[in-house]
């Protein structure tokens, strides 16, 4: 649909409609579409004196099914049904209170061409994680907003630095050149709170934060990314909102939240209780009903109105923007039966979609039951296809920090039988909540290359944190590790977005990362192949990825010295003619291979 027409159709909802005693401030969702599977929706009216009103719609193709009044007359919930043959347009809703009438026009839009949208993501993808405030400032005019608390403060690790959606749009070519296939962006919705740069304390669930851009600009980003061949994953939060959301001091219902601003408890973080067959209901509730922090009020998803609001809100953003997937924040802290329904409803509309739940659990026995179809679930199926693999991430970090050895990787992967589908775990070395890989490696380039080789050749959906590909170091603490990307901000003397602007070391790491990503894309065995691995010996770990007639051998040496290893001839190398090193393009005929300390090799097996 023409963007001007869309703007005009949405225009009526941006004004306050009122009479002397009765008023409507806004309605959510702000619009819906024709031809949707969900053709019956629940509208939330915000206003004044909305109690004891009758509602009617003059058009039979937009019909009121039921009106739900609450104890707070500032809100009204109205169930409406959109006829299958309804045409796009503004449909009148008439509110009548004692003869006093006001009208609201509700936009029903035509669904846009979605042939390039809702694609999902899987093992043949590589995800690039961006903290938008720290990536690039593409629009200096939106660095501050008069109605929002936080102002630009680039010198403060926990302040806003000015990165925005336009900055990401401006550098899609860089992301594409690197070779990743998907972009996951930390939350972009309005956060009118202090320390708001991270985006996880939303104060308007239908509005992009003006300091990042607009709803339309986000939609443009998704479209441009798709045209570039990149998928987009939204960072979504069902569990909580920000303390300055209008609901907090004026909730629609007394049980809209779990607790109140001045009467609540913090979560106990008993994330393992969901899978514990001996766990009591009290322990479960202490985990899901506690607030994550005092500044993030916990939504009560057992309230049917809250649940429906969140489901519709998610579907609205998917349909509006055309995104391909969701990363769901703080997954174990929401009501799990609600999340099961939420996932199911999304896939009923977008069957090719994907959702990864952030589940910070580092033991496979407790993590695995969160995945759909798992035999160790409680009394319901989660329906969740993907999860963050903190088990493997923790093993990588233990190998580096605690010097436990490369067996830590083998040990984690040997527990993959616990998962329904380990190939759909999101794997990573670092993210926006963890010290960066180069920081914990203390700048060791050889070790960096070995670990990145492992990440991009083992099973799962790899995720790379922005700047890892050029060796951004960051520091301790969230503000420091979410470092500004060089060249993304006014005053930066060099731009790492260009080869000329990168240092020699940054180009070395970028080139190595790019070559691995090209290799992964070219050889499907590295993304879709079966993993066959062998117990490490003397800090050398090797494994095969096998897909159809394609066979790849990966060797990692986590030791302090160069090693010469013999390969198993009787199994996967029985008919080998030669091995081609895909990182150097050198061919070898020997079945004895030398590998440098902290080195890695990836071979194509030719038979």
Catalytic positions, written as ranges? 329, 358
Give the bridge partners for 48, in sequence order.
23
Strand partners, 63: 81
The three-state DSSP-derived secondary structure of 318-354 is HHHHCCCEEEECCHHHCCHHHHHHHHHHHHHHCCCCE
The span from the CA of 600 to the CA of 543, in Å, is 12
Q: Which two tokens stand for residue 549?
A: 């007639």
What distance in Å separates the CA atoms of residue 23 and residue 29, rounded to the nearest whole number? 18
| Cα distance between residue 195 and residue 186, in whole Å | 15
d(CA 420, CA 418): 7
For Cα atoms 421, 394, 332, give the angle at the middle one, nearest 5 degrees.
60
Q: What would the two tokens of residue 520 be?
A: 């992964």
Q: Which of 532, 512, 385 is nearest to 447 (CA)?
A: 512
Q: Report which of 51, 3, 60, 6 is spatially closest to residue 30, judged by C-alpha positions.
A: 6
| Number of residues written out for the chain | 607
Cis amide prior to 29 (ω within 30 degrees): yes
- Start-to-end CA distance of the chain, whole Å, equals 54
**Token output for 452:** 């990145």
Of the candidates 454, 455, 486, 490, the residue with the CA atom closest to the CA atom of residue 473:
486
CB-based contact 25:73 (threshold 8 Å): no
Token pair 């998610």 is found at: 314
3-state helix, strand, coil in the chain (%, to 5): 30, 25, 45
d(CA 505, CA 471): 8
50 and 18 in contact (C-beta within 8 Å)? no
Taking alpha carbons only, the member of 544, 467, 524, 595 closest to residue 178 is 467
Extract the runs of DSSP E, i.e. beta strands, from 84-199: 89-97, 100-109, 127-130, 182-185, 189-190
Q: Which two tokens stand for residue 559?
A: 């030791």
Q: What is the arrangement of strands in the sheet containing 17-18, beginning at the earlier edge strand? A: 17-18, 23-28, 40-48, 75-82, 62-69
Residue with tokens 């607009």: 214
| Residue 593: C-alpha distances to residues 59, 179, 363, 429, 576 (Å) | 77, 29, 34, 27, 14
């Amino acid at each position: 649909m023409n963007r001007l027409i869309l703007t005009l159709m949405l225009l009526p909802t941006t004004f306050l409609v009122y009479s002397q005693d009765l008023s409507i401030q806004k309605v959510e969702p702000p619009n819906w579409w024709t031809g949707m599977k969900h053709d019956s929706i629940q509208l939330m009216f915000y206003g004044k004196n909305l109690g004891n009103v009758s509602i009617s719609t003059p058009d039979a193709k937009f019909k009121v099914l039921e009106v739900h009044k609450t104890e707070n007359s500032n809100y009204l919930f109205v169930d409406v049904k959109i006829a299958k043959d309804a045409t796009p347009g503004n449909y009148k809703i008439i509110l009548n209170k004692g003869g006093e009438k006001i009208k609201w026009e509700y936009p029903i839009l035509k669904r846009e061409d979605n042939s390039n949208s809702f694609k999902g993501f899987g093992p043949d993808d590589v995800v690039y994680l961006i903290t938008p405030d720290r990536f690039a400032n593409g629009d200096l005019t939106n660095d501050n907003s008069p109605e929002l608390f936080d102002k630009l403060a680039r010198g403060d690790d926990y302040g806003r630095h000015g990165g925005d959606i336009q900055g990401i749009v401006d550098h899609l070519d860089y992301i594409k050149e690197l070779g990743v296939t998907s972009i996951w962006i930390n939350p972009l919705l309005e956060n009118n709170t202090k320390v708001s740069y991270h985006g996880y304390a939303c104060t308007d669930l239908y509005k992009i934060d003006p300091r990042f851009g607009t709803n339309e600009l986000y939609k443009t980003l998704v479209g441009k990314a798709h045209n570039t061949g990149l998928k987009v994953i939204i960072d979504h939060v069902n569990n909580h909102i920000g303390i300055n959301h209008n609901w907090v001091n004026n909730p629609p219902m007394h049980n809209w939240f779990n607790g109140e601003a001045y009467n609540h408890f913090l979560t106990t973080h008993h994330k393992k209780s969901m899978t514990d067959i001996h766990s009591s209901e009290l322990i479960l509730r202490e985990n899901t009903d506690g607030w994550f922090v005092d500044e993030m009020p916990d939504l009560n998803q057992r309230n049917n109105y809250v649940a429906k609001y969140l489901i519709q809100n998610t579907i609205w953003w998917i349909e509006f923007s055309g995104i391909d997937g969701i990363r769901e924040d703080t997954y174990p802290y929401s009501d799990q039966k609600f999340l099961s329904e939420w996932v199911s409803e999304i896939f009923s509309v977008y069957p090719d979609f994907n959702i990864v739940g952030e589940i910070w659990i580092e033991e496979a026995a407790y993590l695995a039951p969160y995945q759909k179809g798992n035999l160790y679930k409680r009394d319901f199926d989660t329906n969740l296809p993907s999860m963050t693999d903190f088990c493997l991430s923790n093993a990588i970090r233990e190998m580096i920090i605690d010097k436990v050895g490369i067996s830590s990787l083998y040990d984690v992967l040997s527990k993959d039988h616990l998962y329904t589908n380990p190939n759909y775990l999101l794997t990573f070395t670092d993210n926006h909540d963890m010290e960066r890989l180069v920081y914990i490696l203390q700048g060791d380039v050889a070790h960096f290359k070995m670990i990145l080789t492992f990440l991009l050749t083992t099973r799962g959906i790899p995720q790379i944190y922005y700047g890892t590909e050029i060796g951004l170091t960051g520091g301790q603490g969230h503000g420091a590790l979410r470092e500004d990307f060089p060249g993304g901000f006014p005053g930066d003397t060099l731009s790492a977005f260009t080869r000329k602007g990168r240092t020699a070391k940054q180009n070395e790491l970028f080139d190595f990362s790019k070559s691995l990503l090209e290799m992964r894309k070219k050889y499907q065995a590295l993304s879709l192949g079966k993993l066959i691995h062998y117990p490490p010996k003397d800090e050398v770990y090797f494994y095969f990825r096998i897909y159809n007639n394609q066979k790849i051998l990966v060797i990692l040496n986590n030791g302090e010295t160069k090693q010469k290893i013999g390969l198993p001839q009787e199994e996967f190398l029985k008919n080998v003619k030669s091995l081609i090193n895909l990182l150097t393009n050198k061919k070898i005929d020997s079945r004895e291979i030398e590998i440098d300390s902290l080195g890695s090799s990836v071979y194509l097996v030719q038979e």
